[in-house]
């Protein structure tokens, strides 16, 4: 298995020769492979971590990630949505309405736990400026904001995320390649004892299966080092003894927020079913959804949009028959596992609050472990 990595350069899983699943990724191997989906980050890194500060003094290791669900005006033409909560020790504000109405009508924001209120207020400010009828002639909105706890690395009580950071992330959202690792809302996040953060991946189904694209983006912040699995290989158990000299987060199992986008013509209950399969991808990466963790998933389709105002009382939607949905389930599982792995592969070492050190997963070791196990698998199971 050939690697295209230059020494010292962080690369994604596929550049290490790691292949998750059987379907091929889209052009960018990102959630932005789904037409109209855009992603933007505001990353906040500053301050010396040499000693523990008072709240507000830093160090700052946090940020905001914004996902725009569809091209055009999502407020006037909402995207069909669904979701699933595997374990609820976390928050994705607005999910209750998403599940009830089956629609999303605002940008989606990801940040740290104590910045949810700031991001929600900033999203309202942004949306009201863009659509002054909100709360006047039109209904109010409930922003969708997901969170994970980055307090092991970030001065989380310091209130370092401000409204302008949220606005910048929304305004900076773009299609194409997506920055991963220590960026945006994932800046201070951990995954299985290694530096984690934002990761994304996609799958494009063959034309015979519909030719649809499924993209997943995660803010990954879960697990202990020995839990990590890569394509079924117990990588965490193999690597853990090499890091026993390092302190790691043990007081919290952490959480993960996952977002799924697709151009398949799915309605809300189908998107909720796809969201459940994302939980399988999280489990394949090593999570057992601990008591104090949050595994929260939201999915949306860009194919159907629901107008806020319509001349007719009946609106027609395109709907994929359930008998043809299985490949989308498989694609969601594969893209989720690879998105988590991309977050790990692209993240870099970080020192945070109280001098806590989050090591990046060693890519050469990861590739060697993966290659060795795959060669053994091929010996025992020749094609």
Catalytic residue selected from 295, 334, 337, 338: 295
Look up residue 325 and give its two tokens.
């949905």
- Active-site residue among 151, 201, 202, 255? 255
- Tokens describing residue 378: 């091929």
Other C-beta atoms closer than 10 Å to the C-beta of 364 total 11
Handedness of CA 262, 254, 346, 65 (dihedral sign): positive
6 in catalytic set: no
Residue pointed to by tokens 């006047």: 136
Residue 305 designated active-site: no
Per DSSP bridges, beta strands 60-68 and 108-112 are: antiparallel
3-class SS at 47?
coil
Q: Given 3-state DSSP classes, what are the helix, strand and coil percentages for the chain, each rounded to the nearest 5?
A: 30, 25, 40
Phi, psi of 55 (to 5 degrees): -55, 130
- Please tell me which residue in 115, 272, 285, 293 is annotated as part of the active site: 293
Three-class secondary structure of residue 111 per DSSP: strand
Which one, of 261, 214, 246, 235, lies nearest residue 344 by Cα? 235
Distances 172 to 78, 168, 294 between C-alpha atoms, Å: 21, 6, 28
Query: Alpha-carbon torsion 108, 95, 81, 142, what sign?
Result: negative
- Asked about 120 being catalytic, the answer comes back as no
Alpha-carbon radius of gyration of the chain: 20
Catalytic residues: 255, 293, 295
């Amino acid at each position: 298995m050939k690697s295209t990595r230059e020494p010292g350069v962080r690369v994604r899983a596929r550049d290490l020769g790691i292949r998750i699943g059987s379907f091929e990724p889209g052009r960018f191997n990102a959630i932005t492979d789904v037409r109209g989906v855009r992603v933007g980050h505001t990353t906040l890194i500053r301050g010396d971590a040499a000693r523990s500060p008072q709240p507000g003094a830093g160090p700052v290791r946090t940020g905001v990630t914004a996902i725009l669900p569809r091209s055009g005006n999502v407020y006037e033409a909402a995207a069909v949505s669904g979701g699933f909560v595997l374990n609820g020790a976390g928050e994705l504000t607005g999910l209750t309405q998403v599940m009830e109405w089956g629609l999303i009508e605002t940008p989606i924001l990801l940040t740290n736990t104590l910045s949810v209120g700031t991001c929600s207020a900033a999203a309202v400010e942004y949306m009201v400026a863009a659509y002054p009828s909100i709360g006047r002639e039109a209904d109010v909105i409930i922003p969708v904001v997901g969170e994970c706890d980055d307090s092991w690395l970030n001065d989380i009580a310091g209130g370092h995320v401000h409204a302008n950071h949220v606005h910048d992330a929304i305004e900076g959202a773009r299609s194409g390649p997506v920055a991963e690792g220590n960026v945006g809302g994932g800046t201070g996040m951990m995954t299985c004892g290694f530096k984690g953060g934002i990761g994304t991946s996609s799958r494009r189904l063959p034309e015979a299966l519909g030719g649809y694209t499924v993209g997943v983006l995660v803010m990954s912040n879960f697990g202990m080092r020995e839990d990590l699995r890569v394509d079924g290989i117990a990588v965490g158990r193999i690597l853990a003894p090499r890091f026993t000299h390092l302190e790691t987060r043990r007081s919290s199992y952490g959480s993960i927020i996952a977002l799924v986008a697709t151009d398949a013509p799915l309605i809300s209950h189908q998107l909720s079913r796809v969201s459940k399969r994302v939980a399988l991808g999280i489990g394949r990466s090593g999570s057992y959804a601990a008591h104090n963790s949050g595994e929260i998933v939201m999915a949306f389709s860009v194919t159907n949009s629901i107008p806020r105002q319509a001349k007719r009382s009946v609106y027609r939607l395109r709907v994929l028959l359930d008998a043809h949905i299985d490949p989308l389930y498989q694609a969601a599982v594969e893209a989720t596992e690879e998105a988590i792995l991309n977050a790990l592969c692209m993240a870099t070492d970080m020192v945070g609050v109280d001098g806590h050190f989050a090591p990046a997963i060693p890519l050469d070791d990861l590739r060697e472990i993966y290659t060795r196990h795959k060669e053994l698998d091929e010996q025992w199971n020749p094609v």
